[in-house]
Every structure is written in structure tokens, then in C-alpha cells.
Amino acid sequence: MDNRTYIADSQIDLSAVAQSNNPLDAAATNGNGTVAKKPSPVRDKWGKDVEFMLSCIAYSVGFGNVWKFPYTALKNGGGAFLIPYLVVLFLVGRPIYYLEMVMGQFSSRGVVKIYDLSPAMRGIGVGQSIAMFIVMTYYTPILAITFRYLVASFSAVLPWAKCDPSWPNCVDSDFVGQIVNNASIKPRASAELYFQNSVMHQNASLYEGLGLPDWKLVLCLLFAWLCVATILIKGIKSSGKASYFLAIFPYVIILILFVHACTLDGAFNGIKFFLTPQWDQLLNVTVWYEAVTQCFFSLSVCFGGIIAYASFNNFSNNVYKDAIIISWLDTFTSIIAGCIVFGVTGNLAYVTEQQDIQAVVKSGAGLTFMTYPDAIAKFDWLPQLFSALFFLMLFIVGLGSNLGVTTSIVTAIKDQCPELKNWQVVSAVAVAGFSFGIVYLTPGGMHLLDILDYYGAKYVTLTFAVLELATLAWIYGVDRICRDIKFMLGIETSLFWRICWGVVTPLVTVAILLLSFIDYEAFVVPVGYNVLGWFIYIVAVLQLPGWALYAITRSSSKTIDSWWGSLKKSFYPLPEWGPEDVPTRLRYQEEVEQHEATVPRDRSLMDVFKRKLLS
């Protein structure tokens, strides 16, 4: 596919631009001096460049760093998992992160409108927005549960430290020592039963239905959404100001918790267990699969949030530096969070005289809301303080991530409907998010969360990640991306980035997607829930052919030749594609025309490969 821009249908007269004092007026003037269309309003910008970097840190560092990374590393070889994870970060995570930053900043467009670069592929952005909406609906309920625990931390006695008389076979979480059990039923810690019975009123499975939500959690959900809406209601400038607190303050708490965790009895054994490599796991394909998946969801790439945040950047902001700093900081945070969690877990194993540390660790939300509270309840000194610090940190990093998720959706809507006020879009998204979020706070809600996360987030995101990379690297072209970077930042792109964008990263992503389908197992739930999951996936994927057909038919006529021309044209950038600033965009379009005039005609696939990747 040639990476040319069709501008013949909407030529912009340079003299008209020169005579106009208003660049928006110039943007709306075509070659014959008439008004072509109503101009889009100028996009809001970050107050300072550092606010963009801090917001990306707050967005990328979230729940996945605190609970998913430590457990995934433990399950896949401990310290040996760090080796494939760092390799994947270097070859997949960071290149995608940098690529999305570049494209968002260059075009000043969100995840849907960015496909002005290839209108036939606009369904990718719509599909990613569907995935982001699914994530948004369950992310805030987890934030609500976190806030519930934060409030409970200020009790005179931690409520999960003691058993309720109605809980059978329960052991107080503040009990220090080995539990001798001669019964056939294994005793359960009060922290585990508190989460399941008092907080979630959790059903054993979805065969028991969803049930009704707990009113306390609904109020916590309302509070969480009020926090999100308050920060976003005035646009990107207000969220930029909040980023100073959301990105920096959690590290103050993380440092306190890390120092305290290292001083606990048995902490070294837990951290050693977390970091000690099991070298035989390096040859396990599953470990590499988990490393790529963790990298995707830890950095939050291919969801649309990075593109949305970068679209509010100044045109010349050094996103290369930001991408390097944020990707390494995200990995560092995951490792430190793992040391904190397993330091505390090591102490839990020590005080309960449990030899197998893995036996006291639970996966996912259980690690955060069961294992960690159980360990905190056993602290000798001020368990309420460290509980409050931990859940405050978790609430802040979760809030920062949720702002990025919500901003992506708000940006996608405003790009398509610029006449809407920011507060209107934010309010509508918040109301929708709150309404859908209530279902996750029901007794069966956590089981439903796993299903929708699996189909609506994981599968949809990996599928569109493949399509996004194919579109940017081979339809738009790595060569054109590199020229755009040179035009925007004045720097040459090295062969490393070209090879990653064009070959390595797409192939790895395709392999991971195929492995995820090969390893597919339906959930053991009523069949309707698996059907719902596949329905969401299919609806998201069908956005691609649907929007492609719309782009083709929008300008085609009844003749076959014209239809074929419209098909090809729908894969090329729109006439208005380029930088937001009109004089800059006109200069850019001149450079594109000059370059295309010198490009020789491709005679073979190898010529296409060389031109797209190396020219």
C-alpha cells in the first residue's frame, strides 16, 4: 500500500492562509476561496510538558503492578520471569508505547479520529474504545472496594482481624502461630471470610445468580466516580494538575511500605522466593506468553489511553524521553511492589510457621483483599496505620489509571462530536460507568468481572493490537512514521525502532493472540455468560469491517472502477491528516508531496518491504 495522501479533492490555497489572521479560517478555506467546512476547535493542551509524563505514569502504574505482576512472576518462575519480561518490555512494550505517543502527539487526535490516517481501519479505534469501556465499568468497582477497605482501616480494631460468630471453621487473622488442624476441612482466615461474606457477600459461583449489590459498596462506587468526574470535569488542564499528586504521592507510600516490609521477620525469605530464578521456566512457552500479556496490561498499551493523553501534547514535546522513563519506571514499580507484597507474605508464612510461601498467596484480587489484610492484621505495631497506607496507595494508583481509561473514552466522543461541552461528556460517561459498575458489586459480580475481563478486555485488546500495528507499520508505513518524527522532533529514527515496529512487535503480538485462542477454555458458568463474552468480542471485531464499508461507500459511485478507486482511497490518509496547527500542516503536506514525487514505483514485495521499513 503506497503511503501517499489524497489531497486533490480538497486542496488548500496557501495564499488564502497567508492572508488570514485566523488559522481556523484558513483551515476552512479551499482552493477557490469558499468555505469548505466548519473548523474543529483548537485542542486543549497540558499546562506543562511534565504533566503529560506524570499523567502517563499515573495511568500506567495501577492495580496490575500491585497484584497481577507479583503473582504472575511467582507462578512463572519467580526471578526467571523477570528475564523474559524485560526482553518483552524492550522489544514489544516500549516500542508500542513510543509509537502511540508519537502518533497521538503528531496528529492531536484520540484513539478513533487518529485513523484519519487510514479511514478504512477506523473500526480499530472504535473496537478499542469498546474494550476501554468494559475496563472502565469494572475498574471503578475495584476502586470502590479499595475505598471500603481504606475507611475500615480507621477502626479501633481492623474488622477483618477477628472472626464473626457466624463464620464456621474460622481463625482470627491477628492470631500469630501455627494452626494445628486435625479436621478434614481446612481452616480459613477471618480476612478471607471478611472479604467474601461481609464485603462482597460473594456467591460460590454464577450458578447462584448475580444477586443484589451491597449498599455500602454502591456508596463507595458513587464516591469513586465523583472523584473521577471532579478531576476531569474541566478538561485536561485540571487532570494535569491532579497528576502531580496522583503520580508522586503513591511513591512516598510505596517507599514507607517497602522499608517496613524489609524489617519484618521472614520478609527476606518471601522476597528471595519472589526473585529467585527457576531457570527451567525460561524454556516454557507459557512463561513468555505471560510476560507479553503482563507487559501489555501493565503499560496499558493498545487500549487508546496513551494516544489520548499524547494528543494533548505540544507538537514538539520530547516523547522519546518520556517513553523511556515511563516504561522503565513502570517495571521498577512492579518489582518494588512485588518485594513489598512478598516481604509481607514472607512474614505471614513466618508467623504462621508455614514452610511453603506459595501456600499463603492468592491470585488477583485475593492477593490484595485477602492475603495482604491477613498479614497486616498480624503486625505488632499499628496495623491500622499500615493498612490505611496500603489501601490509600492502592486507591490513588487506581484512580490515576481510571482517569486515563475515562479520558480515552471522553476524547473519542469529543473528537467525533466537538460541539459537546466537556462537562456534558464526562457527566454522561460517569453516569454510564456508575450504572454498569453496580453489577460488579453484586454477590456474583467478581465472577462476572473475570468473564468480561477475559473476553471484552484481553481478547479484544490483543486482536486490535495486531490490527493497530499492521495499520501503522504497513498501511501507513514505518517509513512515513519516521519522517513524521523527523518533521515533529527533528530526530532520526534508528534501525532498532524500525525493525521492532515493522517486524518483531507485530509478529510477537500475532503469536500471543494465536496462543491465547489455542489455550482458550470456557468458564464453568451458565452458558449464557460465555455467550455474552463472545457477543461482546464479536461486536467489537465487527467494527472493523463495518467502518471500512462506511469509508468505502461514502465516496464511491455505481461504477466498478470508481468503487475500486474508493476502496484504495479509503486506506490513504484524509486530506486534513497531519499536525493540528494549520501552517504546520500545510508545510507538512508540501513535504509529503515532494517526497512522493521522488519515490520510485515498487516492482516487487521486497521493494515494498525495503521502502516501508528502511527508507
d(CA 210, CA 201): 11
Residues for the chain: how many in total? 615
Q: Is 61 annotated as a binding residue?
A: yes
Which strand (E) or helix (H) includes residue 171?
Answer: strand 170-171
Q: Which three three-digit cell numbers place residue 270?
A: 518471601
Question: Which bin fits 77, alpha (ψ -120 to 50), beta or left (φ > 0)?
Answer: left
User: Which of helix, strand or coil describes residue 29?
Assistant: strand
**Cβ neighbourhood burial of 604 (10 Å; 0-12, 13-18, 19+):** exposed
Binding residue per annotation — 35?
Answer: no
- CB burial readout 543-559, b (16+ within 10 A) else e: bbeebbeebbeeebeee
Calpha distance 221→228 (Å, rounded): 11
Q: From CA 117, how far away is CA 121, in angstroms rounded?
A: 9
Is 65 labelled a binding residue?
Answer: yes
Cell numbers for 280: 527451567
**What's the number of CA atoms in the CB half-sphere (13 Å) around residue 104?**
35
Identity (one letter) of the amino acid at 403? Answer: L
Measure the CA dihedral 46/50/52/57, to 10°: -150
Task: Give how far Cα 49 sits from Cα of 52, 183, 199, 314, 329, Å.
Answer: 6, 62, 41, 8, 18
Which residues are known binding-site members?
61, 65, 298, 401
Which residues are known binding-site members for Na(+)?
61, 65, 298, 401
